[in-house]
Amino acid sequence: MGVIYIVVPLALIVVAAAVWAFVWATNRGQFDDLDTPAVRVLTDDEGREKP
């Protein structure tokens, strides 16, 4: 059972990484507009690059 002393801190590190990633994404504006990307993804195929 001693493995818990390794696994739990490891899990905490993973959590810390996930929280950091979330904070980073939020500050980059990934969650500013939650409606438009939902409709944009349906149409993102041809012709997006400048002609």
Partner 1 sequence: MAFADRATLTTGAVARAAVSCTHCGLEVPSGLVDDGATRQFCCTGCRTAYEILHEHGLDQYYRFGERREEAVRPSGRTYEEFDHDAFHALYVRRHPDGTAQVELYLEGVHCASCVWLVERVPLLLPGVGGAELDIRRSLARVVWDPSALPLSRVACMLDSLGYPPHPFRGVKRDEVRRHEDRAMLVRIGVAGAIAGNIMLAAFALYAGWMGGMEHEWQVFFRWLSLLLVTPALLWPGRVFFAGAWAALRTRTLHMDVPIALGLGVGYLQGAVNTMRDAGPIYFDGLALLIFLLLVGRYLQQRGQRAAADGAELLYSLTPSTARVADDTGAVREIPAEALLPGMTLDVRPGETLAADGVVTRGRSQIDAALLTGESRPASAAEGDVVYAGTVNLSAPLRVRVEQAGESSRVAKILQQVEESARRRAPVVETANRMAAWFVGAVLVLAGITFVIWEFRAPGTAVDNAIALLIVTCPCALALSTPLAVSMAIGRAARSGIFIKGGDAVESLARPGVVFLDKTGTITEGRTALVEWVGPAWVKPLVLALETDATHPVAAGFRDAWAGMPAPVVDDVRHVPGGGVTGRVDGHTVSVGSPRFVREHAPSDASVDALLGRLDTARTPVLVAVDGAVVGAAAFGDPVRADAGPAVGALRARGWEVRVLSGDAQAVVDAVGRALDLPRTACLGGASPEEKRRVVERAHGERSVVMVGDGVNDAAAMAAATVGVGVHGGAEACLATADVYLTRPGLDALVDLVRGAERTMHVIRRNLAFSLVYNVIGAGLAMAGRIDPLVAALLMPASSLTVVISSWQARTFGRRN
Could you list the residues that contact partner 1 (CB under 8 A)? Answer: 1, 4-5, 8, 11-12, 15, 18-19, 22-23, 26-27, 29, 31-33, 35-36, 39-40, 42-43, 46-48, 50-51
Dihedral over alpha carbons 38, 39, 41, 43 (to 10 degrees) = 180
Longest CA pairwise span in the chain (Å): 63
CB of 30 to partner 1, least distance (A): 10
CB 15 within 8 A of CB 23: no
CB of 15 to partner 1, least distance (A): 6
